[in-house]
Amino acid sequence: MRKLLFFTVCCLAFQPAIASAQQPELYELRVYLNNTPEKQSLVNDYLKSSLVPALHRTGIKQVGVFKPVELDDCSMFMLVPFKNAQDFVSLRSKLENDKKYQESAKDYFDQPLKNPAFERIESRLLQAFRGMPKLETSKLSQQKLPRVFELRLYESHTEDHARRKVHMFDNGEIQVMKDVQMGPVFFAETIAGADAPNLVYMLSAANMDEHREHWKAFLAHPEWERMKNLEQYKDTVSNIQKWFLVPTDYSDL
């Protein structure tokens, strides 16, 4: 009995370490830049009928597709999670060999040179933080209820300041956001992409009013008040970019 008790206690003691040792996911954050509602509609049809189903067939089940809240912004945002770098690298060949994908995407690919489906595609490769190594899907997303998302990008003026900001998230800031129900979806640092060094994260809520209340609770939280004044975290963010998004009807997030 003593041996069994000792084994049980040891297993429980090691559980947090095992959880924190999860391999962080990779994400591709892709933005289709469009300048007209017609092109946005064309890209949306392609994503809905061709690309997202093809990604599902490869085993990627949590694909997020979003449109900006601002009606004059015709961009399309897509978030694709990968278990590892090999899955990311091999995706192109998988799509090239997917006959269903190639057939359904024909109209999209056949757009003429003078009238392409999009202006450009911006792509960032991200790696999840150790403090939240896996993407999390809210009950709102699981039940396909109305919801909004805020996508934030924090730039830093040196690589060391970017590292320290990631450390701040991993050592308290993520937990505060969870405590005040901000609905974090992912936290990640940019491995390859523009505006480096930077990190990117996404929050969710039922609506904008609820999201604003969550931010008020976060800013008033005593742990945030303590952390933001620590010397090691000062001047770690040089610029903030943010986008408010709504999911498409076929988004998994």
Confidence grade of residue 21 (pLDDT, cut at 50, 70, 90): low
Number of domains composing the chain: 1
Helix (H, G, I), strand (E, B) or coil at 61: coil
Q: Is residue 3 part of a domain?
A: no
Q: Is residue 1 part of a domain?
A: no
Q: Is residue 7 part of a domain?
A: no
Q: How far is CA 111 from CA 25, 53, 102, 118, in A?
A: 34, 21, 14, 10
pTM: 0.88
Q: Is residue 252 part of a domain?
A: no
The model's pLDDT over 136-184, given as tens digits with 9 standing for 90+, comes to 998 888 888 899 999 999 999 999 999 999 999 999 999 999 999 999 9
pLDDT at residue 13 greater than cutoff 80: no
Query: What pLDDT is attached to residue 219?
Result: 97
For residue 119, give the DSSP letter: S
For residue 59, give the DSSP letter: T
The model's pLDDT over 28-79, given as tens digits with 9 standing for 90+, comes to 999 999 989 999 999 999 999 999 999 999 999 999 999 999 988 999 999 9
Q: Is residue 115 part of a domain?
A: yes
pLDDT at residue 231 greater than cutoff 90: yes
Query: Dihedral of CA 100/104/110/116: which sign?
Result: negative
Closest listed residue to residue 25, CA positions, set 175, 102, 132, 134: 134
Share of the chain above pLDDT 90, in %: 86
Query: What pLDDT is attached to residue 143?
Result: 87
Q: Is residue 139 part of a domain?
A: yes
CATH of the domain at 167: 3.30.70.100
CB of 224 within 8 A of CB of 173?
yes
Closest listed residue to residue 29, CA positions, set 79, 74, 65: 79
Q: Is residue 86 part of a domain?
A: yes
Helix (H, G, I), strand (E, B) or coil at 85: helix
CB of 120 within 8 A of CB of 65?
no
Q: Is residue 13 part of a domain?
A: no
Query: What pLDDT is attached to residue 141?
Result: 87
Parent domain of 130: 23-247
